[in-house]
Structure 1
Amino acid sequence: MVMADTESCSSRAVDFAPSQRRKQREKIEVYNEVLCRLRDLNIEESTFPAFEDELWAHFSRLPTRYALDVNVERAEDVLMHKRLLSKAHDPSGRPAIQVRLVQLRSAMDGSQVESVHMKFTGKADAQCSDYPNKKRVHPPPAFGTSSDLEFVHNAKRVVKDMEVMFSARPIHYRLMHEITISTNDKPKLLAQLTSLLSELGLNIREAHAFSTTDGYSLDVFVVDGWALEDTEQLKIVLVKEISKVEKLSSVRSHAINHVRELEKTGNKLNSSHVNMPGSGNDVWEIDTSLLKYESKLASCSYGDLYKGTFYGQDVAIKVLRIEHLNENLRREFTQEVNIMRKIQHKNVVQFFGACTTPPNLCIVTEFMSGGSIYDLLHKQKSGFKLPLLLKLAIDVSEGMSYLHQNGIMHRDLKAANLLMDENGVVKIADFGVARVQAQPGVMTAETGTYRWMAPEVIEHKPYDHKADVFSFGVVLWEMLTGKLPYENLTPLQAAVGVVQKGLRPVIPQYTRPKFVELLERCWQQDPSLRPEFSEITNLLEDLASR
């Protein structure tokens, strides 16, 4: 039994067998160094009798890579990781999140300082720009960025050379946010977290992901894209959004486990399911006995919409009336499920599952407590102020851009099919007549609602995804005016006017010229002259920034 080569603060004896790998030796050296530094800092916790064992258990449950990557000069950060992992053990403590400002170091000459594209306002820009030769006022990242790691390792090996380099080249510091998250480990967790950070407008500069031996995660991100003075707000937003992801994962897990349990007990899913192309009636199939109905939200000739719960999660349940089930309605139902089960975006209503076994045909989605844009407009009996209009329009445009990028046309875009959640985020709903576009220009069936319909669709001509852009232009007008398009005409009269007379909604005189230009481009008779949603999003964001 021998101790590590360096002086140890630990009473722990370690057996270094000849075959033991170098990385394992380094892990123990890091453990010892962290322990020494914590005691040098007079951290009270480090003096407790059981602390050595607890710290070693922390390093042992994490991969060796954690010890090799962590910045030992910031031993306090190891304690922070230990506490977050401990907090994540308690379901009420998940997700455990720490957000702080960190100061990144880079040594380069002034002409080579790399600019960073940050979406900050004046004050934040001033804070985040590179600035040379200032004393650190914030800690470095727990694991360092690539440039920080290079300096730390080189400093350990050739201190004198580094001193020469630093004296010759100014040190520049840059402020960013470091986000540390601990929760239950699960498949695709890292992908979900990175996607969420991106959706919040954060740019990930560094990422370090670790899984413990007992099923927990420790993920650390260094990001820019959030105002430096709003660190606490960033934490609040992250806790809320990650909790949503966790809740959705739990709901899905319950559904998956329920289906697997049915299969184990021999209760196969009923063979009379509505045929779902390519789906195999997979884990999205819901047992209707698990749904709890609370209140009816709406009714139409072919079905009803309810608010309910599914495993404690508020949901919307769209139920088809079996007495009205014909081949067209069955086809629409099948198509809606087949599309919704494949898509996931922050501006598209989230699909939870469906029951495809007659007579209980239903689709279950997230419940949107804010109601529809149509309801909101007609409740206030006026259009939205431009800042709010642009915010909502950007949500819709981003959702439509995602759908089109995935080859999906909505074909019934209107204010009534745009729903809001409790945070005012708009999500696209109702995919009953949506279609996957196999190739451009092949669709000819008349579908959608006349007042929002593109002229080529009304005329039964071949059309493509640009038909949605025309409808979006009408939606923009709806949000601007708060009125029903062509309110003095019947739907059929409006359709005839759009096709034969080039009729378009009248744009109010007070409208900003750039917004008028966007509306008119969306309404072009020639679909090829209409912009893509990616361009529309950029135009709306530009208008919003003015």
Structure 2
Amino acid sequence: MEEALEDMGESSSPPKGFGPPGVFDIKYDIYARLLESRNEEELLNSDFREQFMAHFNRLPPSYLLDLNVDRAEDVLLHQKILTEAKDPEKRPVFHVRFIKLDDLNVDVRKNLEDIEDGSYLTEALSVRHDTFVPIHEIIFSTVDKPKLLSQLSALLSNIGLNIREAHVFSTTDGYSLDVFVVDGWPAQDANGLSKELEAAVARIEGSWSGSTHSSGADKILAMQPKIGDWEIDKRLLKMGEKIACGSCGDLYRGSYLGWDVAIKVLRSEHLDEASGVEFAQEVMILREVQHRNVVRFIGASTKPPQFCIVTEYMRGGSLYDLLHKHHNILELSMLLEFALDICKGMNYLHQNNVIHRDLKTANLLIDEHRVVKVADFGVARLQNQGGDMTAETGTYRWMAPEVINHQRYDQKADVFSFAVVLWELLTSKIPYDTLTPLQAALGVRQGLRPELPENTHPILSDLIQRCWEADPAKRPSFAEIIVELEELLKQVKSPEETSDERRENANDD
């Protein structure tokens, strides 16, 4: 073993690829512990170090910082899981293990090694049998793809598990390694939980391999008879510069029949069934809605090989960019004007039975007259399509608790998201910026909300708090919010500066 450690550079500078000193120390400790547990035959295997290094090189630095040096064997387990995930027939690969019992009554946490002591376990369970909660760890690996985290968390929730921690990593060659620490399984029974997971995964056939390009294209091709006159002539569409990249496609500026347009192009490598459904859904909704506070639909191309959606180009960019990239602090009057624009667009959508389901500042665009318009209907849904909506859809930092909990939800889920947008307009901060998106979602489920600034106008503060109520029934509708915001705007602006005048000027230009 000493020779193997010397090969690592024990008495010299860290070997190439081991990163900065702190990172090298962690890798070195893990490597040393793994060598201690290997037999001589394995030590003589010259591939051991190369495989070890290759594993870390394909994962982000945050993976290394998440490892427990005392559980160095986890690295080998992760290597094995990632290797198995390369086989399409095995995906998703998952591994379940019991970690510990949590005592709900006292601040004592026993590790698995302690719990395996029979005397402790017998005595503890005889005293407080119902206060111990089994904690399990579940590791997943499959082809990385957009919204995989949402799919996995929904899967765990559907079998009654509560996610305590989530550690999510993507490899450089397109695979995921996701580690969840959960409770909710009633016994120290990793095998039973593994079988339940296997059954749950089987119920979602065809969505794991990442090889459903044809079904995605089929979803789009099936809508061709419905799109009619909205089908654009791609020969007249001129593509310009790329202005944004999304999870499933790219956004370009361009022109079409004299219009200055934005062109959302669906990338072929992401054309699976889910993205095909989202594309078709967005086109079907956009062609039905026309309002000054909803981005204008120009047309779409539903003919292969390239699928795209064409909308008006919004010169002002998104509210997200305005607040977080350009670091603008809004005056209250402008904040209220923006908020009213959003409410009027959302009220129109709700009147037409459209639930947006992903309302956030990145999906709110500004035109050259500073009018805000609601955009991006990829996950929107018509409320009268039938069936209860319980799927986890949207973006965690803006997501309503009933959506996070996979409960039935309605238009009031958009009102909750609007409250977070209002907070964002007030503070110019990203919601829950010290938390990961999943940590934020878990916090919201337990009652966490962003902290309102002390100098917030009391009427606005009260409105925001009512909009993000845990009980959807207590949240106001967008029609009611409009009345309150218009009254507040009258209080803070002089008559000649009202939002009506701003809109009249916009119409005259």
TM-score bracket for this pair, using the shorter chain length: 0.5 to 0.7
Contact 2:219 2:273 in 1 (8 A): no
Q: Is the 8 A contact 1:473 1:523 kept in 2?
A: yes
In the alignment, the residues of structure 2 paired with residue 436 and residue 300 of structure 1 have an alpha-carbon distance, to the nearest angstrom, of 23
**8 A Cα contact 1:409 1:437, kept in partner:** yes
> In the alignment, is residue 319 of structure 1 matched against residue 265 of structure 2?
yes
Q: 2:482 corresponds to which letter in structure 1?
A: T
Q: What is aligned with 1:389?
A: 335
Cα distance in structure 2, aligned partners of 1:463 and 1:389 = 28
Deviation of 1:322 (Å): 1.3
The one-letter amino acid of 2:475's match is R
Choose which of 469, 475, 494 in structure 2 pairs with 1:530. Answer: 475
Question: Structure 1 residue 351: deviation in Å?
Answer: 0.1
Corresponding position of 1:437: 383
User: Does the 8 Å CA contact 2:219/2:277 hold for their aligned counterparts?
Assistant: no
The answer to whether residue 281 in structure 2 is matched with residue 306 in structure 1 is no
Q: Deviations 1:415-447 (Å, cap 9, x if unpaired)? A: 110000000000000000000001798100101
* Mapped pair 1:460 → 2:410: no
| Contact 2:424-2:430 within 8 A present in 1 as well | yes
Whichever residue aligns with residue 276 of structure 2, its letter is R
Shift of 1:275: 4.1
Q: How many residues align?
A: 275
Determine helix, strand or coil for the equivalent of 1:283. helix
Q: Does structure 1 residue 482 correspond to structure 2 residue 437?
A: no
Q: 1: CA distance between counterparts of 2:302 and 2:224? A: 14
Answer whether contact 1:445 1:457 (CA < 8 A) is retained: yes
Q: Is the 8 A contact 2:278 2:379 kept in 1?
A: yes
Q: Where do 5+ consecutive residues of structure 2 fail to align?
A: 1-216, 492-509
Q: Equivalences for 1:357-436 in 2 at 5 Å?
A: 357-436=303-382
Structure 2 residue aligned with 1:78 = none
Question: Cα deviation per residue 1:500-540 (whole Å; 9 max; x = unaligned)?
Answer: 2x000000000111000000010110001100000001111
Post-superposition Cα deviations, 1:361-403, rounded to whole Å, max 9, x if no partner, equal 0000000000001101123425311000000000000000000
Q: 1:439 to 1:431 in 2, by over 3 A?
A: closer
- Partners of 2:323 and 2:284 in 1: CA distance: 31
2:297 corresponds to 1:343: no
Of residues 431, 455, 458, the one that matches 1:510 is: 455
Q: Among residues 222, 238, 243, which one is paired with 1:292 in the alignment?
A: 238
Decide whether the 8 Å contact of 1:420 with 1:427 is kept in 2.
yes
Listed one character per residue, the Cα deviations across residues 264-292 of structure 1 (whole Å, up to 9, x for unaligned) are: xxxxxxx9782455953300001211100
Larger Rg: 1
**2:227·2:284 contact (CA, 8 Å) conserved in 1?**
no
CA separation in 1, counterparts of 2:218 and 2:273?
Answer: 15
Partner deviation per Cα, 1:50-82 (whole Å, 9 max, x = no partner): xxxxxxxxxxxxxxxxxxxxxxxxxxxxxxxxx
CA separation in 2, counterparts of 1:278 and 1:358?
Answer: 11
Distance change (3 Å), C-alpha of 1:302 and 1:277? closer
- Shift of residue 481 of structure 1? 0.3
2:219 touches 2:276 (CA, 8 Å); kept in 1? no
**What letter corresponds to residue 410 of structure 1 in structure 2?**
H
SS of match in other structure, 1:462: coil
Aligned counterparts of 2:300 and 2:315: Cα–Cα separation in 1: 20
Query: Does 1:520 pair with 2:465?
Result: yes
Paired AA for residue 358 in structure 2? D
* Cα shift readout 1:302-350 (whole Å, capped 9, x = no counterpart): 2110000001210000000112200000000000000000000000000
| Paired residue secondary structure (1:391) | helix
Unmatched 5+ residue regions in structure 1? Answer: 1-270
Report 1:33-72 matches (<5 A).
none
Q: 1:328 aligns with which of 270, 274, 279?
A: 274
Task: Write out per-residue CA displacement over residues 184-207 of structure 1, whole angstroms, 9 at most, x where no aligned residue.
Answer: xxxxxxxxxxxxxxxxxxxxxxxx
Tell me the distance in 1 between the aligned counterparts of 2:396 and 2:328: 22
CA distance in 2, matches of 1:304, 1:516: 37
SS, match of residue 384 in structure 2: coil
TM-score scaled by structure 2? 0.53
Helix, strand or coil for the counterpart of 1:468?
helix
Distance of aligned partners of 1:387 and 1:349 in 2 relative to their CA distance in 1, 3 Å threshold: same
Name the counterpart of 2:176: none
Cα gap change, 1:298 to 1:411, in 2 (>3 Å): same
Query: Could you give the per-residue CA deviations for residues 151-208 of structure 1, whole angstroms, max 9, x where no partner exists?
Result: xxxxxxxxxxxxxxxxxxxxxxxxxxxxxxxxxxxxxxxxxxxxxxxxxxxxxxxxxx
Match of residue 484 from structure 2: 539
Q: Secondary structure at the match of 1:371?
A: coil
Per the normalisation by structure 1, the TM-score is 0.49
Partner of 1:274, secondary structure, is helix
- The alignment yields a C-alpha RMSD, in angstroms, of 1.7
Give the 3-state SS of the residue equivalent to 1:362 in structure 2.
strand
Match of 2:220 in 1: 274
Secondary structure in 2 aligned to 1:432?
A: coil
Output the CA distance in 1 between the equivalents of 2:372 and 2:361: 10
SS of structure 2 residue aligned to 1:280: helix
Deviations 1:100-128 (Å, cap 9, x if unpaired)? xxxxxxxxxxxxxxxxxxxxxxxxxxxxx
- Rounded Cα–Cα distance in structure 1 between residues aligned with 2:265 and 2:224: 23
Change (3 A) 1:341 1:433: same
How far off is 1:299 after superposition?
1.3
Q: Contact 2:221–2:303 at 8 Å: present in 1 too?
A: no
CA contact (8 A) 1:272 1:357 kept: no
Please list, as runs of the form range in 1=range in 2, the aligned pairs for 1:227-238 lying within 5 A after superposition: none
Per-residue deviation, 1:300: 2.7
Aligned-partner Cα distance in 1 for 2:394–2:225: 26
- Tell me the SS of whatever aligns to 1:282: helix
Provide the C-alpha distance between the structure 1 equivalents of 2:480 and 2:222, rounded to a whole number of angstroms.
Answer: 34
Q: Give the alignment partner of residue 494 of structure 1, picking from 426, 434, 440.
A: 440
